[in-house]
Amino acid sequence: MNCRNEYLDILPEVREALEAGKPVVALESTIISHGMPYPQNVETALNVEKIIRESGAVPATIAIIGGRLKAGLSPEEIEYFGKKGRQIAKASRRDLAALCSRGEDGATTVTTTMIIAHMAGIQFFATGGIGGVHRGAEKTMDISADLEELAHTPVAVICAGAKAILDLGLTLEYLETRGVPVIGFGTEELPAFYSRHSGLRVDYRMDTPEEIAAAFRAQRGMGLQGGMLITNPIPEAYAMDDGVINGAIDQAVAEAEEQGIRGKEITPFLLARVAELTGGDSLASNIQLVYNNARLASRIAAAYTGMAKEEKTAEQK
């Protein structure tokens, strides 16, 4: 376990689980501060942690509080994050040093959640959707740092695909170039976040958590750099009609361009506007897909730790 870092605090429950070889699943904090309003954000965050515990793993919500990197938050800290909301800065890799040196708070994105999870020795991370190549990136060069982090940080990220507001085809091309394996859980098609279908193919279909855990274990055993992206389709009951969601996204993207919204503000704007245009349906779908990903991540983490224990037992005989 790589947890010796002067800037890192690991919640006792998480530390004990890691030391005992129990499954641990990381969670991001941007979804709390920027993903939805209070108190729904806190309720959702606590529900995700509850789902992970019920699925046999230990949750570790990742954040930066008072300049400290946090691997695991207490309920009080989650409440603090939820109330403070958008006052908390979104923190990417480039922000970590400044936030820590200034003693400030930061909401972790996919990128920074992966970084801090890896520092703590956590290998699995459940989120809604990753960032990627934005529409029009050939002009703006707007490409999420999440893709670069996946290329060199050894954490398995379980999600419902890249956010549907992105250029999904170019996102897959970028991941291929950077050598990141994209796995479809029970599907050969890349999920499109709110929708189960994108018309794009993943690298490999795998049908059980054990199969995914074995692939990640092989990747780690070979010493290959980078992580693994596991895409998990939103449950059918909560999937949105392709025409409805794509129409809302197209309108939101056009409005963002008219208003000159760029950089780290673009994703929160688009997600909030899409939620407005769909009458809140997209937010409800977002919450359910996060729950679904948390369950799968817990099962994969449990399978992985089970393999590690079996291997250790075999070596001792």
What does the pLDDT look like over 205-224, one tens digit per residue? 999 999 999 999 999 999 99
In this prediction the pTM is: 0.92
What does the pLDDT look like over 242-265, one tens digit per residue? 888 889 888 988 898 899 887 777
Domain 123-317: which CATH number of 3.40.1390.10, 3.90.1150.110, 3.40.1790.10, 2.60.40.10: 3.40.1790.10
Residues belonging to the active site: 28, 163
Nearest Cα to Cα of residue 27 among 148, 121, 113: 113
Q: What is the mean pLDDT of residues 93-98?
A: 97
Start and end residues for every CATH 3.40.1790.10 domain found in the chain: 1-122, 123-317
1-122, CATH topology level: Indigoidine synthase fold (3.40.1790)
The stretches of the chain forming alpha helices (DSSP H) are 12-19, 30-33, 40-54, 75-84, 96-102, 110-120, 137-140, 145-152, 168-177, 209-221, 242-259, 266-277, 281-316
What does the pLDDT look like over 124-152, one tens digit per residue? 999 999 999 987 777 778 889 999 999 99
> What was the pLDDT predicted at 314?
74
> What was the pLDDT predicted at 88?
97
Whether residue 3 has pLDDT greater than 60? no
What does the pLDDT look like over 182-202, one tens digit per residue? 999 999 999 999 899 899 999
> What was the pLDDT predicted at 317?
65
Residue 36 or residue 208, greater confidence: 208
